[in-house]
């Protein structure tokens, strides 16, 4: 029995900063630390649902950034398949991995066209990422 977070990157741990030129996004230390705390407190695994999963270089960059916060490749189960909509991608992954019994999706965008359960989607703001409140909600949902 596995608990999983389906993880978007942009707007969740890689945040838009108006102080950076050209709308550059950077990995947010607080969001990454809170993600690691959630992993530690729940024993969950990560499944990459972000478009970052489509490019090997992006995955390498992400893992390099996460390493600074104690999140390694071993914390990941895999990545979602490519479909029309992210909610459908997550549902497809779940149907092929029945050992995942509890899950949430962390994303800064809704899944309006899918049958993804709204109570399993935890939305972040693109400029604040994983706040303390969002971390607590993640822990609560993964613990039930």
Matching residue, tokens 């990545």:
79
Average pLDDT over residues 27-43: 97
Question: Rounded CA gap, 120 and 46, in Å?
Answer: 15
Matching residue, tokens 């965008």:
109
Tell which wins on pLDDT, 122 or 17. 122
Tokens of 70: 């104690």
Angle ∠(95,99,103) on CA atoms, nearest 5 = 75
pTM: 0.93
**H, E, C per residue of the chain:** CEEEEEECCECCCEEECCCCHHHCEEECHHHHHHHHHHHHHHCCEEEECCHHHHCHHHHHHHHHHHHCCCCCHHHEEEECCCCCCHHHHHHHHHHHCCCEEEEEEEECCCCCCCCCCHHHEEECECCCECCHHHHHHHHHHHCC
Domain span including residue 93: 2-142
Q: Which tens digits make up the pLDDT trace of 56-108?
A: 999 999 999 999 999 999 999 999 999 989 999 999 999 999 999 999 999 99
The pLDDT of residue 141: 98
Total tally of structural domains belonging to the chain: 1
Give 114's pLDDT tier (boundaries 50, 70, 90). confident
Which among 67, 84, 87, 68 has a CA at the least distance from the CA of 76?
67
Q: For residue 89, what is the domain's CATH number?
A: 3.40.50.1000
Beta bridge partners of 100: 2
């Amino acid at each position: 029995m596995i608990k999983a977070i389906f993880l978007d990157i942009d707007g969740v741990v890689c945040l838009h900063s108006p102080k950076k030129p050209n709308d550059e996004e950077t990995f947010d230390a607080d969001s990454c630390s809170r993600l690691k705390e959630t992993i530690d407190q729940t024993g969950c695994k990560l499944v990459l649902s972000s478009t970052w999963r489509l490019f090997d270089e992006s995955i390498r960059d992400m893992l390099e950034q996460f390493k600074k916060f104690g999140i390694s490749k071993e914390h990941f189960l895999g990545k979602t398949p490519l479909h029309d909509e992210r909610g459908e991608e997550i549902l497809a992954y779940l149907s092929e991995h029945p050992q995942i019994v509890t899950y949430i999706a962390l994303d800064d965008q809704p899944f309006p066209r899918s049958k993804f359960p709204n109570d399993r989607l935890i939305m972040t703001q693109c400029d604040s990422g994983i706040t303390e409140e969002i971390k607590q909600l993640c822990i609560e949902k993964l613990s039930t």
